[in-house]
């Protein structure tokens, strides 16, 4: 079938995969629109946008042309002492799109590293202001911020990797999302208790993704932002998953800003930044954060610099992706997807073994109860011609925004069918 598959597989190490027992991965030969073509000629409709990146679908001609043009003139050049137009334009455009004075952009190549940079910014911000004791970070249950050591320490302690690497990670402070009055008092108390040792609070605004598609409202987010201001803490909004329209606004933190005019101090972006084509991430700081690094002292500078920082191909792809947000009705498409997900996944609530159905923007999640055979569910979805990959307790859809209504119906019908089959066996 594919002469590269068997010999290659004996040398590949796959992510989050028990290599002894996991079913063989599917060989992919092409992607187009919302479809993934396999080596045997089958096509799968992608329900999860390649880990939430491919918001315009695959092989969008506008992004491809931008990358090809960039490839011919300047694919990459080191970013220390040198700058280039794709990065300069992109920084300017991100600053214009983000709320308030979020205006200084530091480029990296992955989401985890963007969060690491945000943590460095937060800790060094206080150090530069003469408060070097402010070093610890508050994170939330069900949160996910990456797989590197500093970011693992900010992921949900049970769903994340805390037990595997206990003792090897920094010890940070977990909070519950303050969604009611009692929890709000507890949150305030926590911030007071740790007081002068805290540097920042980090949150995935409105939707906690990899920790299980948990959702909270804008009032909760606004409360957290206000609490950070009261306790003199920086607020880091990890919009790596929520950014670029996924929750219905360009950025999820806009919803809290509309309620109470609160803007995070630092925002992390990645995933859909290049429309799912090339790896790129950005950590964007407000003016007062950037200004804390300005001094007649080299030691006050931000000490970070990835080799492939601000890769020109990736920046060109991201600029082309932003063009598409301007020229095509992406947020209207997200609103239509939201309505369709609510209507077509809603009936899953009545199935045995379903705990809850949650929808926000172009995210639809069905949380399961009882025994969950992830490999069997995943295999069944592929048999039905859809690429849906449940994890933990959730079966979820996060389709490309360009998906046609019929294709989305194929996805939601597959979810209902697979969960109906499962309900019969419970
Ligand atoms: C995916 C993700 C990350 C990590 O990004 P990588 O590019 O995989 O390192 C961090 N935060 C959130 C919210 C994410 O969804």
pLDDT of residue 100: 96
Query: What is the C-alpha separation between 309 and 106, in angstroms, rounded?
Result: 9
pLDDT of residue 290: 98
Query: What is the C-alpha separation between 319 and 309, in angstroms, rounded?
Result: 16
Give me the residues paired with residue 136 across strands: 198
Q: CB of 369 within 8 A of CB of 344?
A: no
Q: Catalytic annotation on 120?
A: no
- List ligand 1's pocket residues with C-beta within 6 A: 110-112, 115, 144-146, 204, 209-210, 238, 240-241, 270-271
The CA-based diameter of the chain, rounded to the nearest angstrom, is: 70
Which residue among the candidates 238, 257, 265, 407 is catalytic per the annotation? 238
Q: CB of 262 within 8 A of CB of 222?
A: yes
Q: Catalytic annotation on 16?
A: yes
Query: What is the C-alpha separation between 52 and 163, in angstroms, rounded?
Result: 27
Which residue among the candidates 58, 139, 144, 396 is catalytic per the annotation? 144
In the chain, what are the domains?
4-59+329-424 (3.90.1150.10), 74-327 (3.40.640.10)
pLDDT of residue 134: 98
Any known ligand binding at 306? yes
Distance 94 CA to ligand 1 centre (A): 19
Query: What is the C-alpha separation between 413 and 160, in angstroms, rounded?
Result: 31
Per-run averaged pLDDT (10 residues), the chain, 426 residues = 89 95 95 97 98 98 98 98 98 98 98 98 98 98 96 91 85 97 98 96 98 97 97 98 98 94 96 98 98 96 97 99 98 98 98 98 98 96 98 97 98 98 96
Any known ligand binding at 110? no
The share of the chain scoring above pLDDT 90, in percent, equals: 95
Query: What is the C-alpha separation between 335 and 319, in angstroms, rounded?
Result: 23
Query: What is the C-alpha separation between 225 and 260, in angstroms, rounded?
Result: 9
CA-CA distances (angstroms) from residue 356 to 156, 206, 247, 365?
A: 20, 17, 19, 8
Atom of ligand 1 nearest to the CA of 238: 13
Q: CB of 212 within 8 A of CB of 142?
A: yes
Q: CB of 228 within 8 A of CB of 235?
A: yes
pLDDT tens digits, one per residue of 196-221? 999 999 999 999 999 999 999 999 99
Query: What is the C-alpha separation between 317 and 70, in angstroms, rounded?
Result: 9
pLDDT of residue 1: 60
Distance 339 CA to ligand 1 centre (A): 26
């Amino acid at each position: 079938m594919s002469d590269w598959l068997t010999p290659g597989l004996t040398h590949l190490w796959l992510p989050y995969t028990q290599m002894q027992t996991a079913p063989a991965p599917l060989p992919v030969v092409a992607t187009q629109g919302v479809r993934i073509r396999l080596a045997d000629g089958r096509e799968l409709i992608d329900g999860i946008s390649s880990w939430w990146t491919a918001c315009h679908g695959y092989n969008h001609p506008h992004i491809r042309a931008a990358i090809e043009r960039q490839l011919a003139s300047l694919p990459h050049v080191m970013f220390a002492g040198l700058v280039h137009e794709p990065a300069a334009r992109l920084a300017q455009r991100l600053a214009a799109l983000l709320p308030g004075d979020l205006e200084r952009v530091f480029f990296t190549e992955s989401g985890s590293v963007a969060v690491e940079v945000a943590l460095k910014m937060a800790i060094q911000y206080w150090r530069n202001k003469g408060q070097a004791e402010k070093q610890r970070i508050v994170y939330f249950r069900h949160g996910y911020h990456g797989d590197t050591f500093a970011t693992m320490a900010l992921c949900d302690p049970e769903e994340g990797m805390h037990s595997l690497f206990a003792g090897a990670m920094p010890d940070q402070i977990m909070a519950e999302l303050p969604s009611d009055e009692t929890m709000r008092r507890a949150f305030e108390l926590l911030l007071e208790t740790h007081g002068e040792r805290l540097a920042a609070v980090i949150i995935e605004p409105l939707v906690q993704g990899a920790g299980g598609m948990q959702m909270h409202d804008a009032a909760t987010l606004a409360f957290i932002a206000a609490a950070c201001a009261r306790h003199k803490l920086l607020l880091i909004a990890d919009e790596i998953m929520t950014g670029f329209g996924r929750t219905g606004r360009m950025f999820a933190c806009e919803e809290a800003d509309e309620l109470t005019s609160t803007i995070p101090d630092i925002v992390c972006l990645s995933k859909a930044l290049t429309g799912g084509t090339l790896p790129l991430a950005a950590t964007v700081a407000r003016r007062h954060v950037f200004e804390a690094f300005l001094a007649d002292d080299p030691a006050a500078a931000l000490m970070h610099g990835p080799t492939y920082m601000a890769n020109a191909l990736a920046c060109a792809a991201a600029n082309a992706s932003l063009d598409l947000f301007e020229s095509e009705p992406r947020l209207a498409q997200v609103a239509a997807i939201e309505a369709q997900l609510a209507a077509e996944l809603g009936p899953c609530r009545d199935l045995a073994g379903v705990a809850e159905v949650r929808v926000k923007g172009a995210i639809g999640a069905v949380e399961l109860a009882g025994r969950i055979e992830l490999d069997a569910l995943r295999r069944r979805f592929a048999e039905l011609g859809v690429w849906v990959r449940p994890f933990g307790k959730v079966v979820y859809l996060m389709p490309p925004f360009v998906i046609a209504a019929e294709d989305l119906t194929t996805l939601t019908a597959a979810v209902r069918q697979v969960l109906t089959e499962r309900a019969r066996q419970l």
